[in-house]
């Protein structure tokens, strides 16, 4: 299947990432329908010019491409194969682009099910955050049949600055994303620990951010997440619960391989502690608030 300007696109999951991707596609002139169980997300999508629907099957009616931007494998399976799943109404020979972070085995199983029904399946986890999703500059770590990359190129180019073609079988892209999430989770936890440590030493944490961002200790996550802490703004761009899930996948895979992941395991417990303290749906930089509470410190936005 080759995507053309007349192709119908469906986006399932209109959170910060899915909404940005849908907006990028609309900006390129594609006809885009979408569904999300959150009415606020649906309203925002409608304001961008998207066609809203009442369920995944309705959103995917006649769609040549269904992009599934939900949280995990279970939600992907439900969105595609549930009672109101998308595959029952897609155009014959259409393709699913699956973007959720999941274990490689889950991606392989979903890909096989799509293949049995005559649909293509691109295992295509994404990275880059909400801002890059909105600007069409995501990184996509994808695997699937080579012809899918050719046929889907206009869609991929609309949503991503970098598309890595990592192999011909689903599951490879998922495995690359799990490696990315190991590092991302560890880096967020380390950034939160570092900036709170600076606060414990009574340093000007805004100046710490300035200095470290220009020094060897910097990371993409330190540079991206610490401003949330400085502003006391924990509106979820990426929620704590995302990393309890993703680092949980890392732990499960490591256990299955008899491969130790001690640093990732420590980071996982930091996210679990943050979720247990009531901040699971808040921005993942809330790990800093969890540490600050334990240490009896006050960060911006925590003042009583």
As annotated, the active-site residues are: 177
Alpha carbons 69 and 180: distance in angstroms, whole number = 17
Name residue, tokens 């009616």.
61
Look at the alpha carbons of 265, 267, 273, 276 in this order and tell me if their dihedral is positive or negative.
Answer: negative
Compute the half-sphere exposure of residue 96: CA atoms within 13 Å on the CB side of its CA.
34
Helices (H), the chain: 16-27, 39-48, 56-59, 73-81, 104-116, 129-134, 146-151, 153-159, 172-200, 205-213, 220-231, 240-257, 262-274, 287-295
Look at the alpha carbons of 24, 134, 264, 183 in this order and tell me if their dihedral is positive or negative.
Answer: positive
* Length in residues, the chain: 304
Going by their DSSP bridges, the two strands 8-12 and 31-35 should be labelled as: parallel
Q: In what order do the strands lie in the sheet with 138-142?
A: 126-127, 138-142, 160-165
Alpha carbons 207 and 209: distance in angstroms, whole number = 5
Q: Please state, as a whole number, how many other Cβ atoms lie within 10 Å of the Cβ of residue 256.
A: 10
Phi-psi region of 238 (alpha: psi -120 to 50; beta: other; left: phi over 0): beta
């Amino acid at each position: 299947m080759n995507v053309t300007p007349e192709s119908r696109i469906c986006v399932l999951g209109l959170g910060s990432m899915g909404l940005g991707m849908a907006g990028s596609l609309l900006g390129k002139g594609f006809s885009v329908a979408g569904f999300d169980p959150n009415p606020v997300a649906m309203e925002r999508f409608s304001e961008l010019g998207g066609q809203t629907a009442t369920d995944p099957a309705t959103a995917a009616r006649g769609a040549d491409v269904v992009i599934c931007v939900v949280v995990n494998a279970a939600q992907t399976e439900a969105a595609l194969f549930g009672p109101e799943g998308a595959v029952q109404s897609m155009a014959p020979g259409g393709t699913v682009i699956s973007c959720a972070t999941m274990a490689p085995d889950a991606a392989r199983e979903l890909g096989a099910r799509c293949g049995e029904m005559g649909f293509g399946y691109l295992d295509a986890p994404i990275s880059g955050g909400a801002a890059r999703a909105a600007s069409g500059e995501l990184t996509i770590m994808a695997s699937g049949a080579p012809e899918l990359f050719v046929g889907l190129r206009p869609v991929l180019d609309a949503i991503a600055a970098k598309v890595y073609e990592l192999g011909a079988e689903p599951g490879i892209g998922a495995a690359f994303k799990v490696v990315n999430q190991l590092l991302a989770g560890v880096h967020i936890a380390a950034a939160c620990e570092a900036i709170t440590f600076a606060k414990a030493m009574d340093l000007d944490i805004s100046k710490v951010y300035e200095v470290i961002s220009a020094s060897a200790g910097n990371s993409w996550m330190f540079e991206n997440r610490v401003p949330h802490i400085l502003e006391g703004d924990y509106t979820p761009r990426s929620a704590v619960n995302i990393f309890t899930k993703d680092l949980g996948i890392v732990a499960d895979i490591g256990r299955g391989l008899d491969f130790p992941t001690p640093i990732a395991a420590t980071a996982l417990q930091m996210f679990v502690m943050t979720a247990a303290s009531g901040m699971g749906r808040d921005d993942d930089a809330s790990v800093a608030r969890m540490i600050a509470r334990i240490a009896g410190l006050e960060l911006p936005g925590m003042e009583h």
